[in-house]
Chain A
Amino acid sequence: MSEMTLVEAVNLALARAMEDDPDVVVLGEDVGINGGVFRATAGLQARFGPERVLDTPLAELLISGLCVGMAAQGLRPVGEIQFMGFLYPCIDQLVNHASRIRNRTQGRLTCPMVLRTPHGAGIRAPEHHSESTEAMLAHIPGLRVVIPSSPERAYRLLLAAIRDPDPVVFLEPTRIYRAAKGEVEDNGEALPLDVAFVLREGRDVTLISWGAMLKETMAAADALAVDGIAAEVVDLATLKPYDEVTVLGSVTKTGRCVIVHEATRTGGFGAEIAALIAERSLTSLLAPVARVTGYDTVIPMARLEQHMMPSVDRIVTAARKACQFS
């Protein structure tokens, strides 16, 4: 067992998957000798050869479309899109083909592919490198959308995604690629998809988040504990389909809920969770469901981006307000 960063855990999972299954193919821009712009694929080409670790031409639609064709032939392609801002040309393939080829052909053709991409702001990158449009993907029937929040979950959820018989978009929180460190045992064991993880138990308020934003959310829970407020923290991990049982179970217990995401508010995934709680658990609520989100604007460039993202303070304030509501 060794201490590693989240991006190293991604690399480890890819290597493990390729070792275990000759059908796993990694493809994308600069994934070969360069090991990917974040080094997520470092060393893989040297180990598994250029046929299985494939530098594609600079064409994102192609990468996603190749994955569909390969997957329909029984390969397990893992495509990399360098930044989420360049994922948009893949939407056609994700919506029209990857997510529905099983349904269209009534199971005759299937699409066991993974499309990985760095997700989110906070890395002081150029324009178009800081997208957090996961809600757009989570709206697509037939797709899975997964966001890990620790090295351990990155390793085990990526293994699960690659082994899953359906298409998965795997969003890797760029901001904690190297900031998150933890022990990971390379034993090939996967965590289940579609399952939320309770990172911290508490009886007073439920904080729900995913990806990099769990860092602030956990810090907020620490700050609330100093005030004597016991926050329960839920890492949603899979956004599509998401674990309604864990969400409702936690909110029924605490009676209060704050949803935290850095994506813009309108139509964000927080709205979905709030609606679920309103529909199924309204009577257990002791306070309105609150959302702490990015603002409804383009994610600003480096100088302002931290003002867009929910801060520990904003989360703590929202949680306190929920707890004081009478």
Chain B
Amino acid sequence: MADAGLPVIARFEVRHRNYLAPDGSINRPLPAFASDASLLTALYRAMVLLRIFDRKAVALQRTGRLGTYAVSLGQEAVSVGIASAMRGEDVLLPSYRDNGALIWRGVKLEEILLFWGGDERGNHFSGPVEDFPFCVPVGSQAPHAAGVAYAFKLRREPRVAVCMFGDGATSKGDVYEAMNFAGVHRLPVVFVVTNNQWAISVPLRLQTGCETLAQKAIAAGFIGEQVDGSDVVAVRAAAEDAIVAARDGQGPRFVEAVTYRLGDHTTSDDASRYRSADEVQTRWKEEPIARLRNYLVGQKMWSKAEEEALAAECHARVEAAVERYLATEQRRPETMFDHLYARLPEAYAAQRRELAGEGDV
């Protein structure tokens, strides 16, 4: 126990933000944007589309038409809420589970399927051309985000880099190194951790001794906030505050979105090996889509007819994307060399010719 007589030289606090309760009732007055019914329904639509897309992707994987896939089940509000607060010219640096953010930003569904289907062309987004592709080595995109934000600052561009990763990633030095640098230079970057409680089979309590992940920002010299990550209104509000502050030159922010991964880690995982059905069942009561629907219905902003129309619309959109994905013609083998270097070095030209079936090496 420290000497009570010693002066306190610093005190820190971490705030938690929540508006919508699991049943859709409100805990505190909603932020201004929530009075815009079209925005709220857009967030709702995006989450529903993501869930339907995920279900289809898993079905494709199970029938051998897609590779390993990571679902967003239960955490749809994070990707969608964060992306909805970004501007087109901002840059997103996503983790592999941030489909919802990519879709919101205009990446085509068939591009996402191509990526998970094992084709690099899926990363050639026709949408936001400066966004980074999904990052698989956990947390290694955080230093990129700092570099991107440094470029914005150097060029005096009012843009923000938004970097997303999971709770497991916060254990890596990469994330701390990037946050630390962002703090030093007050960079326009927002780090977002989707705390879904699990890193494959490892629970949060084995990942960190911290009470919150948000407090990790304190060591880097900026504000970390925790939000209810199953409340899309809270996620969007926190993201907006953070992004506006970053754009305004107030430096980086960190947002911890506390949510729950209701599904398996990926299609190669069986979560029942490491967590109980009871735990998952309990968490289903908090999931983000029903929560927002309850609110919208209660506010007469949403109806059964609209729900049915939305489902039909999403299914049609997903099916059309799947058709385009499946109809995508194969790349020729030699194209694996086409984007290796800006110009293929002479030393590898023969290997390319071999793949093309053009004579000997």
Contact = CB atoms under 8 A, between A and B. Distances in A.
Interface of A: 25, 51-52, 56-57, 59, 61-62, 64-75, 77, 92-93, 96-97, 101-110, 141-142, 164-166, 194, 241-245
B47 interface: no
Nearest to A56: B181
A164 B245 CA distance: 36
A96 B152 CA distance: 24
Contacts of A73: 91, 130, 147-148, 151-152
A248 B173 CA distance: 45
Interface string B178-205: 1011001000000000000000000000
Contacts of A59: 173, 177, 180-181
Given A69-B146, A77-B147, A108-B123, A96 B140 contact: yes
A70 B151 contact: yes
Contact of B150 (A66, A74, A97, A165): A66
Contacts of B148: 69-70, 72-73
Contacts of A70: 147-148, 150-151
Given A66-B150, A67-B147, A108-B124, 7 more contacts: A59-B173, A59-B177, A65-B174, A69-B150, A92-B140, A106-B339, A166-B341
A93 B143 contact: yes
Interface residues of B, number: 42
Interface in B106-164: 120-121, 123-125, 129-130, 132-133, 136-137, 140, 142-152, 154, 161
17 contacts: A51-B154, A52-B154, A61-B143, A61-B173, A62-B146, A65-B177, A69-B149, A70-B151, A92-B174, A102-B339, A103-B340, A104-B120, A105-B120, A106-B123, A108-B125, A194-B347, A241-B348
B133 A105 contact: yes
Interface in B310-361: 338-342, 345-348
Nearest to A63: B143
A264 to B, nearest CB: 24
A293 B140 CA distance: 35
Interface of B: 91, 120-121, 123-125, 129-130, 132-133, 136-137, 140, 142-152, 154, 161, 173-174, 177-178, 180-181, 184, 338-342, 345-348
Nearest to B93: A69
A141 B344 CA distance: 11
A194 B346 contact: yes
Contacts of B137: 92, 96-97
A65 B146 contact: yes
A101 B130 CA distance: 12
B180 A57 contact: yes
B313 to A, nearest CB: 29
A56 B150 CA distance: 12
A79 B154 CA distance: 16
B140 A65 contact: yes
A64 B340 CA distance: 19
Given A73-B130, A107-B339, A62 B178 contact: yes
Contact of B181 (A52, A57, A102): A57
Nearest to B183: A57
B348 A65 contact: no
Nearest to A193: B345
Nearest to A141: B340
A106 B150 contact: no
Contacts of A243: 347
A247 to B, nearest CB: 10
A62 B133 contact: no
A106 B143 contact: no
